[in-house]
Each structure stands twice: as C-alpha cells, then as structure tokens.
Structure 1
Amino acid sequence: MRGVTDLLRNALALYAQAGVTLAPGVEPDDVEDAVLDEPASFRSFPLTTLAGLTDPDGEPLLAGTVIGAGLSGAADFTPAIHQLARAAGTTASDIAVMPDPGTRGATGSLRVRFGDWDVADINYNFEDATRAFELDLISAVLPMDATAATFPTPDGRDVTVFLPSNADTAGVNALMDAIETEFAKA
C-alpha cells in the first residue's frame, strides 16, 4: 500500500506540474480508492492508468480529461462534442451533422461553433479504420495556445487530456516524457 500511495502522490504531482488537477469535487482519497481497484495496472503504468480512472458515475477523476469520446455513429457527435468542449474549457453550439446521401451516416461532415466565434468544419468517415476525424475534432475543440494529448490507457481506452494554455512548458514536457517512458515499457 505504501508504494502505491507514494506512486500516486508522484503521479498527481507530475500532472499538477503540467496544469492538470483533480476534477471538481474529487479528493485525493477518491483517487486512491480508484487506484486500489487497479493496483497491478497502476504500479506498471501509473500515469496512463490515472488518466483513465473514473468516479462511480463514469466521470474522469482528472480535470480536462475525456475518456473514450464514444463515437460509433453520427448520432454520437453532439454529446461527444459537448464532452470534449467542457474538458477543453470552452462551449460548443450550433452543431450541424450532415451525412452524405446514401451512406446511412457512415460518412459526411459536421459544423460546430466553439466559444463565440470559432467555427469548425470537419469531414467524418466511420468506414475508415484510422478514424482521423476524431483527432480533427479534438484539434477543433482545442483553445488557442492550449495543448492536448491523446493516448491509450492500459485497458485499451483512448483518453484525451487537455493541458491549459498557461501550463508550465517544462511540466508539460516532463509529463509527456514520463508517459512515453510508460509506453516504452509496454
């Protein structure tokens, strides 16, 4: 237990250096309880495991984090866009999904307004295995001068962490280097 507590404290400190804090209402004890549900994974991959932890309602324990946007079809865009926008610290409105004729929504485009002025047009293709449009959506949500990192958790879910625009560059670099080190161990 002592080793897990120290590892957790170090992981939280590394995220904090990059400007990533616990989500509102989440206490360190909540995170420790969640870690104890995944001790082997956490010991091997503390940063990526921590990024994928959720509360009992499925909400991420880290602020600015989206775990698996859940895009399986065009109908999923609106809730996913709102979830990404909240995590990025902005708002989304005027969402229009325009499926290509004859594709049953498998391909098409969408238009969305972020904040007051920024409008993004994104093509989507659920038939393309790379699903590059998901990264286009994250890029569109991202506020100016902010950064986001998307990576898999040890259990295979994708997580996106939005790093604040005022985050310490050295802290962000240290976090990303440590996450890369975890991937090298896998």
Structure 2
Amino acid sequence: MPPQLTVTDRDILAAHLDLFDRAGLRLSPGIEPADVEDGVCDDLECFRLAPATTVLSLIDADAHPFFTNITFPDNTGIYPTTHAQLPAYIRAVCAPAGTDLRDVTVVPDPGALHTGTARLQFGEWDVVDVSYDLSAGGWEPDRVNGSHGLIPDLIAAAIPNGGEAGIFSTADGETAVVYLSEIDAGATRTAVVHGRPAPHTAPDAKKPVTAAAARAAARNAAIDNLFTVLFAEAES
C-alpha cells in the first residue's frame, strides 16, 4: 500500500498551502491540490522533515514546477552551452517572475564560443544588458564587467517593481528560485534574497492604514514567513 498522509500531515500541508497563497504563490494551470497531496505522498519522509521545501520542489511528469512562480535554473536539461541556446534559457529563468519579457537578443563577443551580452527588453521601453560566460557556470561573478553571475543578473532583471526573489535548495539539492510580488502595484521596493529573509521597513504608525496598505502588509508578512521557513529548513 502506498504511503498515506496522516491527519497531522494534512494539517501541515494545508497550513503551508495557505502560507504560499498569502505570499502570492500560485499553482500552475492543470495542477490541483490533490496533485500536491500525491506528490507529497511520493516523498513523505522529506515532507515531514522539510514541508515547505518539499512542496515547492514538486514537479510534474514534464519536469515543470507545480507553482508558476518557481524556476530551477541549474537544471542540466536546460542550462545553455552555446549562444543559440541562451534565449530559451533566459525565458525559462525570467518567465516565472511574471514580467513582460518581449525580446532577447544575444550578441556574442567576437570570435568567442561562450561569452557575450544578452539584451533583454521588458515591455515597450525597459532594456537590460546582461553579460555572460557560459563556461563559468551560472553563478560565477565577473569582476571585470561587473556581473554578479548570469543567473543572479537574470533574476535581478526579471523581478517586477516591488517584488522579491528567494533562492533555496530543493529536496534533491537543486537550486530553486521563487519570485514573489506585492499586491500594491504602486510599490517601488525591489530586493533579491539569497536564501535568507528580506528585511521590511516598518510602516509609519502615524499614517492612516488604507485597505491597499493593509493587504500589502499582510502579503509582506507572509513573504517574510515563507523565507524564514525556507531558511530554517535549509539550516536544519
């Protein structure tokens, strides 16, 4: 008989799904809560040790994440080794952020097999240039051109205004990126979080709290809780 969730397991799963929802994480089209339960049952031991990490690591039969806001940039099946493969990889890393990436233009360095610049166009006017060295891997910084590494630079470019990105290790030890956006469309704060909670500025107690501000505060609290949980699981 396959492993079954206990009442306690179901309560823990429900609590985490509620946290994910409040933080802005959404299940991918075609994925239902029942699919999440089935995925958890397939790795019940890991779920009981690190429930948040296990649930956010779930993928379908085609290796697509269960949640729309998540990507796995180190996946050897998609990591580029040539200039021609780079546009598809960039879209795979940036798309879960939900930003309007309209065009990717790759300009290789003259005579180079692995280095160059990728120009990303977001919306009508926003353009970001990202330097790359495919032979160095996705995380190696380049102090000469000021790059923090291909993957960190892509994450920073893709985050929408007022959004955040968290980096954590999956149950299989793979690196995952989760993108989160605030409800308040007028927010301007942008932060990239590398495996630990992001600080939030305390609101001014003298200002009246609007409904939008209350929703944004609730979302911020949920995001903080989510990153705190993921960081704690990584440390355990």
**TM-score, length-scaled by structure 1:** 0.89
Aligned length: 184
- 2:177 alignment partner AA: T
RMSD: 1.8
Whether 2:170 is the aligned partner of 1:153: answer: yes
Give the direction of change, closer, same or farther, for the CA distance of 1:82–1:181 in structure 2 (3 Å limit): same
List runs of 5+ in structure 1 lacking aligned partners.
Answer: none
Aligned partners of 2:26 and 2:67 also within 8 Å: yes
1 or 2 for the larger relative contact order (CA 8 Å, sep ≥6)? 1
- What does 1:20-99 align with in structure 2 at a 5 Å threshold? 20-68=25-73, 70-73=78-81, 74-99=83-108
Please identify the structure whose Cα radius of gyration is greater. 2
Whether 2:224 is the aligned partner of 1:173: answer: yes
**TM-score, length-scaled by structure 2:** 0.72
In structure 1, distance between residues paired with 2:152 and 2:122: 16
Secondary structure in 1 matching 2:14: helix
In structure 1, distance between residues paired with 2:99 and 2:24: 17
List runs of 5+ in structure 2 lacking aligned partners.
Answer: 141-148, 184-215
In structure 2, distance between residues paired with 1:92 and 1:101: 26
- Name the % identity: 34
In structure 2, distance between residues paired with 1:134 and 1:172: 22
In structure 1, distance between residues paired with 2:162 and 2:11: 33
Segments of 4+ moved more than 4 angstroms: none
Q: CA-to-partner distance for each residue in 1:47-94, whole Å, 9 max, x for gaps?
A: 112112112222211121112363232333212222234311123233
In structure 2, distance between residues paired with 1:84 and 1:72: 12
